[in-house]
Amino acid sequence: MKFNKLLDTMPIYEAGKPIDLIARKYGINKKNIIKLASNENPFGTSLKVITKIKSSMNEMFRYPDDSMYELKNSLSKKFNVNKSNIIIGAGSDQIIEICVQAKCDKKSTVLMANTTFAMYEISAKKVGAKIIKTKDDEHNLEQLFDLYEKHGADIIFLCLPNNPLGECLDKNDVYAFLKKISKKTLVVVDGVYQEYASFKDKNKLINASDLITKFPNCIYLGSFSKAYGLGGMRIGYGIADKNIINTLNKVRNPFNVSTLALIAANEALKDEDFVNKTIKSNFNEMLRYEEFAKKKDIEYIDSYTNFIIYKFGNKFDSKILSEKLLKKGIILRDLSSYKMNAIRITIGTNKQNTKVLEVLNKLLK
C-alpha cells in the first residue's frame, strides 16, 4: 500500500527512555532507577492537584468540555488576555503541529535555530515544508534575520529558552528582531521554560499579553509539563491574536485534551508556591552540576531551564556514557539524535543529583 511520499524521509522523535523499559532491559528494580531525561519536575505533582484529581474520578467517563471554559478563564486572568486569545493543546507540541498545519504546505518555508526543539522540524517535514536552519547551534538573531531576508519564512520558531541547549535570548533583542519581521510571518515564541528563565534573569521575561499586542503575528506557547509538574497529563497552551486562534481551532480536533488534564492544569495554576519551590531548588541544584563540570573541565552551556548540557568534544562519547549510565539505572538524555556529542541532564532533587554526580564522577575519567 502506498502512503504519502513525505513519510519516507520522516524522522522519528527520540523520546527519553521510560523507566519501565530500563527496568525490564537491565533487570533493575524500578525504585532504584533515576530518570533525569525528559525535563520533568523532580518534585512530581503539587499535592493540591493530586487531591483535586482524586476527587474528580467521576469525571473520567465524560468527554471533556471542549470549550475548556474553566482553564481558559484561569489562563486569561494569569496572562491578562481574553479567553478568545487562548488555545489549549495536548502539550504545547500539539499546538506547534497545529500552527504548521494551519500555515504551511509543500511550498512553505520554516526558519529555526540549528539545534532546537525537534518537534519544529518534525511537524514541518510532515507537511513537506522547506526547513532552513542557522549555522550556529544556539539562537543567533543575526543569522536568523539574514536567512529570513534571503528565503522568507511562513513560520519562524524561537525557543526562549531553548530546548535542548538551555540558552535564552533577551526580550529586548527578541523585540528588535520581531520589528523587522513581516506581519505575514507567524512567529512561534515557545516559552515552555519561561518560568525558569524569567526567575534567573528578568531580562529574559516575555510577557505574552505585551508580546501579542505589539506583535499580532506572534503566538506564545506555554506548558504544564515542566514547572507545573504535569508532564504525563499532556497539556499546554497558546496565546495569540484571536484571528490566529480562530484559525488554529479549525485544525484542532475536538476533545484534544483529557478531562482530568483540564482539571489538573486549572488546579496547578492555583499552587504557585509549588512552582516557586520547584524553580528555586532547580537553580540551587544546578550550581552543583556547573561546579562538577568546571572541576572535570567539561564544557557546559549557561542554562535558563531545568536542565544542563555537558558537551564532550573529543573527551568522552555521549552514546557510550549513556549506555553505561543506563546499566547503573540512571537515565540521562544522549543528544546524538541532535547530532551532538553531549548529554542533557534534567536537574533532579538534591538526593538524585548527589547520586548522579557520584556515578558521573566515576565514569568521566
Residue 107 exposed, middle or buried by CB count within 10 Å (0-12, 13-18, 19+): exposed
Q: In angstroms, give the least distance from the CB of 6 to its own copies.
A: 9
Say whether 312 sits in a helix, a strand or coil: coil
Nearer to its own copies, 61 or 172 (CB): 61
Say whether 314 sits in a helix, a strand or coil: coil
Nearer to its own copies, 7 or 172 (CB): 7
Q: In angstroms, give the least distance from the CB of 308 to its own copies.
A: 19
Q: How far apart are CA 71 and CA 269, in angstroms?
A: 9
Nearer to its own copies, 61 or 150 (CB): 61
Query: What does the angle CA 110 – CA 115 – CA 121 come to, to the nearest 5 degrees?
Result: 35
Q: In angstroms, give the least distance from the CB of 117 to its own copies.
A: 12
Nearer to its own copies, 35 or 204 (CB): 35
Distance set, CA 23 to CA 109, 158, 240, 338 (Å): 43, 37, 43, 25
Q: In angstroms, give the least distance from the CB of 101 to its own copies.
A: 7
The residues facing 111 across adjacent strands are: 132, 156
Q: In angstroms, give the least distance from the CB of 137 to its own copies.
A: 22
Q: How far apart are CA 54 and CA 73, in angstroms?
A: 22
Cβ(52)–Cβ(263) below 8 Å: yes
Q: In angstroms, give the least distance from the CB of 338 to its own copies.
A: 15
Give the side-chain half-sphere CA count within 13 A for 14.
11
Distance set, CA 223 to CA 66, 87, 165, 265, 268 (Å): 18, 12, 18, 9, 11
Nearer to its own copies, 127 or 141 (CB): 127
Nearer to its own copies, 167 or 190 (CB): 190
Q: Is the dihedral of CA 59, 94, 304, 199 positive or negative?
A: negative
Nearer to its own copies, 248 or 325 (CB): 248
Q: In angstroms, give the least distance from the CB of 291 to its own copies.
A: 27
76 contact partners, CB below 8 Å, separation of at least 6: 82, 83, 85, 86
Nearer to its own copies, 243 or 361 (CB): 243
Closest alpha carbon to 214 in 194, 192, 241, 238: 241
Q: How far apart are CA 334 and CA 164, in angstroms?
A: 11
Q: In angstroms, give the least distance from the CB of 59 to its own copies.
A: 6
Nearer to its own copies, 103 or 204 (CB): 103
* E strand intervals along the chain: 34-35, 86-89, 109-112, 130-133, 155-159, 186-190, 218-223, 236-240, 299-300, 307-311, 330-331, 333-334, 342-346
What distance, in Å, lies between the first and last C-alpha atoms of the chain?
52
Residue pointed to by grid coordinates 504525563: 232
Nearer to its own copies, 69 or 202 (CB): 69
Residue type at position 205 = L
Q: In angstroms, give the least distance from the CB of 208 to its own copies.
A: 18
Q: In angstroms, give the least distance from the CB of 345 to its own copies.
A: 16
